[in-house]
Amino acid sequence: MSQGLNPVPREKCGLILGYTSRRQLLIDLDDTCLEKVHKIALMIQDQWPKVGDCLILESSYSPLIQHTRYNKDHWPYFKNQGSNYHLVFSNYTGLNYCYKVVLTLAGLDVLNYGYAKIRDFRGDMTLRVSHAVTTEGVKTPPKPVKYIRNNKCKVVDDGIQQYLRCLDAGLYLFFAYFHTEYEAYNSGDGSNDYAEILTVDTADERGRFNG
């Protein structure tokens, strides 16, 4: 499903609901594609098996495009523009363990150091679970797209289920705020992208998807 940005009245604003944990690894990956995100999740599970299973969510969609940019010395470099994804891991490993993973990923250039510094400053892991109003329109809530089991980890906590309960609240806010606007916006050509979010998958206690 394409989660584009649709215009909304500016008075429909500013509440953004986030899911925060001090025990559970949460990763925000920007300007990438699902294939790369899948490989990163597998790498994390292989190197740090204690993190458990992984739920991948698409937080916004954009075709993957590579732009040429120039630094202050006029040297060219490539800048990717693509979709944004969230990784939610199931196990409660503790903040120090989570930060060690984030810092290592920053050193591998998977994450930027600014993200690692924010996590260190705040002392938590946080991801958006609701809509977000931008200057261009509204980002819809994140959508689960893939569940990856971790065969190296025998014990699986309920962190993903806890996250999904919070995501349900974010979806409720989205429907409550934007149902009328999206229904009107999509009624012209017979399409209704926003209604597809109603089919968002949920995980049962075994981590299987029902949708």
Task: For residue range 152-189, list pLDDT tens digits in order.
Answer: 998 889 999 999 999 988 888 777 776 544 444 444 44
Instruction: Give the model's pLDDT for residue 194.
Output: 35
- In the three-class reduction of DSSP (H, G, I as helix; E, B as strand; rest coil), residue 78 is classed as strand
Percent of the chain with pLDDT over 90: 40
Instruction: Give the model's pLDDT for residue 121.
Output: 84
Tell me which residue of 126, 98, 136, 159 sits closest to 16, measured CA to CA: 126
**Where in the chain are the domains?**
18-199
Q: Give residue-wise pLDDT tens across range 29-54.
A: 988 889 999 999 999 999 999 999 99
Q: How far apart are CA 111 and CA 29, in angstroms?
A: 7
Q: Give residue-wise pLDDT tens across range 197-210.
A: 333 334 443 344 44
Instruction: Give the model's pLDDT for residue 127.
Output: 94
- Cα 50 to the center of its chain, rounded Å: 21
Amino acid present at 24? Q
Instruction: Give the model's pLDDT for residue 123.
Output: 85
Tell me which residue of 81, 85, 83, 82 sits closest to 144, measured CA to CA: 85
Name the CA radius of gyration of the chain, rounded: 18
Q: How far apart are CA 98 and CA 115, in angstroms?
A: 13
Instruction: Give the model's pLDDT for residue 197.
Output: 37
Residue that wins the pLDDT comparison between 82 and 56: 56
Segment 6-14 shows an average pLDDT of 51
The string of DSSP letters for 47-73 reads H-GGG--EEEEEEE----EEEEEE-TT
Q: How far apart are CA 129 and CA 139, in angstroms?
A: 11
Residue that wins the pLDDT comparison between 121 and 55: 55
* Mean residue pLDDT across the chain: 76
Residue 201: which residues within 8 A CB-CB, separation 6 or more? 144, 209, 210, 211
Residue that wins the pLDDT comparison between 104 and 197: 104
Phi then psi for residue 142, to 5 deg, are -60, 145
pLDDT at 134 exceeding the cut of 80: no
How sure is the predictor about 73, in pLDDT bands with cuts at 50, 70 and 90? low
Q: Are 139 and 131 within 8 A, CB to CB?
A: yes
Pairing of strands 125-128, 76-81: unpaired
Q: What is the token pair recorded at 161?
A: 């289920």
Predicted structure pTM score: 0.74
pLDDT at 12 exceeding the cut of 90: no
